[in-house]
Structure 1
Amino acid sequence: MLKKEDHPFSNKYGATVEAILEQYVTNDDIIEASIEELVELIESKSRGRITDPEETVKILKAAANGSYRLDRVVAEPITLSISSSFNCIRAFEKELKAIEKAIEHTVQGLNPVEYQILKSIPGIGHVYVAGILAEIGTIKAFTGNGALAKYCGIVWKENQSGNFRAEDTKMSKAGNRYLRYYVIEATGSVINNCPEYKDFYDKKFAETTTHQHKRALALTSRKFLRMLFRLLDKSQLYSLERSR
């Protein structure tokens, strides 16, 4: 099993990988292929999105050279199976696009202003927007971000004795579990697209040695909820100043 950094392609199910697996039946076929031939294929299938195709080819050849060799008799059926799997993936992707388009159309029709506000947040797609808006209803139903957090279930129970406050305090999870799911998932996407939220997540991650990711993600989700409430309540689009 290759380590993440040893994989030649970031998307193991993309068009480039598919073309290589279908065109080169065995590892030896990849090894024996010229660098120029593989570079041309990668540039064509990736549409120039791979910045250093020659380096990618070197990694690909190294991976093929270090992989287990299959007899050619079984290699062809396996290639056929892989090709069939890619056909299934393409079919599912087509269906997902149709569903996502329908979701986007519906949400834009029902909540056009709220939709544009949440879509302005980096990393938030229409599926997360639809889920959040469907569960919130109207932001006017909440007196503040604390009420929204309580409804969402992203609040914490007190776990202390005297002057000691436990580091491992459990989240309440008493609220709307569907909204909580969408908020936490959306927060994960925001962390990957918004440096301020990434910094906040990293800070919270480093503060403890137990449940680091879960704790940091939950606390970042609470920060995200504060911003979400403020933007919706004031009908404002996202900006760096308003993300705090």
Structure 2
Amino acid sequence: MKKFSTHVGIDVSKSTLDVCILKAEGMSVVGMSVVPNTQQGIRRVFRELRHLNAYGDDTLFCFENTGVYSVPLCLCLSEAGLPYWEVPALEIKKSKGITRGKTDRTDAQDIARYSVRSLDKFKASSMPEVEIQRMKVLFAERDKTVRALKLFESTTEGAAFLPPSIYKSVESQNRKTIAYLRKALRAIDAKIRGVRERNEPLNAQYNLLRSVPGIGDVTATYMIIATGGFKRFGSWRKFACYSGIAPFQYASGSSIRGKTRVNHLADKKMKSLLNMAVLSAVKHDPELKEYYERKKHEGKNPMLVLNNIRCKIVSRAFAVIDRASPYVNLKKFAA
């Protein structure tokens, strides 16, 4: 485990960065500042660290993952070759214990202290590939377009209940909006496909994932984005936990024996796509269909069986990527 002499805790907001510079020895704060959330502001932090003789590989930057707000900081640190640790906000919040009150200044100090105390968990963060970032942004736009399309399509449900003269007042505009959104959706899909096809490794991963029964175009694309090109997770079990399909026990002492359940902390989009994948797999994959019917006949809860199949699909996805060969259904070769 690498030791760092200086830890920099940064509370990231839209317009500013609250910075706390902490010496690991004695947990003493040697600097506090507020800078703009821009490249110029981040360079001011670098100058302050140089003044303290704390600029280099011996200094660890730690901050919460705040989506697009933390991108400028990640870019500057990556370009400077400095080690940084982007941590989920919930993990830092739960590590603070009982607290009263909250300010950006104290949050920066808490992040710096978390960096020192949790160094055994440290895993250096890095910027995803440019192509994956582009796919992520495009997929987010696709998601918003799909939601808008469903919202406008729901207007037609009122046609059977409203007088024709009233419904016609919105029918023409609604039809034009739906046509525009469908055209926009096709354009976004084409851009995502273009980004993927221009990157040979990502396109190869996509084709391997599509060979797994149940995994379609959207699921394969989002799985590549969520896994960072299958670099973020060491095993399919860790990804199953991230996706909210890994079951966990709930027990304490001799009296509390709760049901084994999946946890609500998950990537809800990935979980939703896996739900669709399992329905398709049970319908079209004879092996999984036979497994589902057999377990259901044994009296197992259908939702439990479906969740087991979700885990099977994820394990198959990671297997084809690890082997770099398409999925082969061995059941069709059985005697």
TM-score, normalising length: structure 1: 0.54
Partners of 1:119 and 1:126 within 8 A in 2? yes
* Residue 228 (structure 1) aligns with: 317
* 1:155-170 → structure 2 map (5 Å cutoff): 155-159=246-250, 168-170=259-261
Which one has the bigger helix percentage? Answer: 1
1:135 to 222, 226, 230: 226
Structure with the bigger RCO (C-alpha within 8 Å, sep 6+) is 1
Deviation at 1:123, TM superposition (A): 4.4
Equivalent in the alignment of 2:177: 88
- Partners in 2 of 1:83 and 1:122 — Cα distance? 41
Give the CA deviation at 1:175: 5.0
Cα RMSD (Å) of the superposition?
A: 4.0
The alpha-carbon deviation at position 126 of structure 1 amounts to: 2.5
Alignment of 1:97-116 (within 5 A): 97-110=186-199, 111-116=202-207
Counterpart residue number, 1:237: 326
| Identity over aligned pairs, percent | 22
**Which residue of structure 2 aligns with residue 55 of structure 1?**
none
Q: Distance in 1 between matches of 2:315 and 2:249?
A: 20
* Alignment match of 2:274 (pick from 170, 183, 188): 183
Secondary structure in structure 2 of the residue aligned to 1:169? strand
Structure 1 unmatched runs, 5+: 1-20, 22-66
Instruction: Give the structure 1 partner of residue 212 of structure 2.
Output: 121
Greater alpha carbon shift after TM alignment, 134-143 vs 103-112 = 134-143
1:136 Cα deviation after fit: 0.8
Which consecutive unaligned segments of at least 5 residues does structure 2 have? Answer: 1-155
Between structures 1 and 2, the one with greater strand share: 2
Between the aligned partners of 1:82 and 1:192, the Cα distance in structure 2 is: 37
Residues 84 and 135 (structure 1), Cα distance of their counterparts in 2 relative to 1, 3 Å cut? same
Contact 2:287 / 2:331 at 8 angstroms: preserved in 1?
Answer: no
Show the counterpart of 2:235: 144
Letter in 2 for 1:158: Q
- Which 10-residue stretch deviates more, 127-136 or 172-181? 172-181
The Cα of 1:95 is off from its aligned counterpart by: 1.4
Instruction: Indicate conservation of the 8 Å contact 2:212/2:313, yes or no.
Output: no
Could you tell me the TM-score, scaled by structure 2's length?
A: 0.41
Match of 2:68 in 1: none
